[in-house]
Copies of this chain bind each other. A is one copy, B any other.
Amino acid sequence: MFKINENYLKLPGSYLFSTIGKKVAAFTKDNPDKEIIRLGIGDVTQPLAPAIIEALHSAVDDMAHAETFHGYAPDLGYDFLREAIVKNDYEPRGCQITADEVFVSDGAKCDSSNIQEIFSADSKIAVCDPVYPVYVDSNVMAGRTGTYDAKTETWSDVIYMPCTAANDFVPELPKETPDLIYLCYPNNPTGATLTKNQLQEWVDYANKNGSVIIYDAAYEAYISQENVPHSIYECTGARTCAIELRSFSKNAGFTGTRLGFTVIPKELKCGDVSLHALWARRHGTKYNGAPYIVQKAGEAVYSERGKAQLREQVAYYMKNAAVIREGLAEAGYQASGGIDAPYIWMQTPGGMSSWEFFDYLLEKANVVGTPGSGFGPSGEGCFRLTAFGTYENTLAAMERIRKL
Contacts and interface: CB of A to CB of B under 8 A. Distances in A.
A120 to B, nearest CB: 4
Interface string A1-19: 1111110110100110010
Interface stretch (A68-76, A90-98, A339-347, A363-371): A68-76
B286 A138 contact: yes
Interface in A254-292: 255-258, 270, 273, 275, 278, 281-282, 284-292
A63 B278 contact: no
A258 B289 contact: yes
Interface residues of A, number: 82
Interface in A1-47: 1-6, 8-9, 11, 14-15, 18, 41, 43-47
A293 to B, nearest CB: 7
B45 A56 contact: no
A265 to B, nearest CB: 15
A315 interface: no
Tell me the number of copies of this protein. Answer: 2
Given A18-B75, A179-B3, A278-B4, A288 B110 contact: yes
A50 B64 contact: yes
B289 A118 contact: no
B5 A278 contact: yes
A137 interface: yes
Contacts of A121: 5, 143
Nearest to A295: B256
Interface string A230-258: 00000000000000000000000101111
Between A5, A179, A270, the greatest number of chain B beta carbons within 10 A of the residue's beta carbon is seen for A5
Nearest to A111: B286
A43 B71 contact: yes
A11 to B, nearest CB: 7
Contacts of A395: none
Nearest to A142: B117
A152 to B, nearest CB: 22
A258 B1 contact: no
Contact of A257 (B43, B56, B291): B291
B285 A138 contact: yes
Contact of A118 (B4, B48, B120, B290): B4
A180 to B, nearest CB: 7
Q: Which 9 A-B pairs have the closest CB atoms?
A: A1-B210, A3-B120, A113-B286, A2-B179, A43-B71, A15-B284, A70-B256, A71-B255, A47-B69
6 contacts: A3-B120, A47-B64, A48-B63, A56-B293, A70-B256, A257-B292
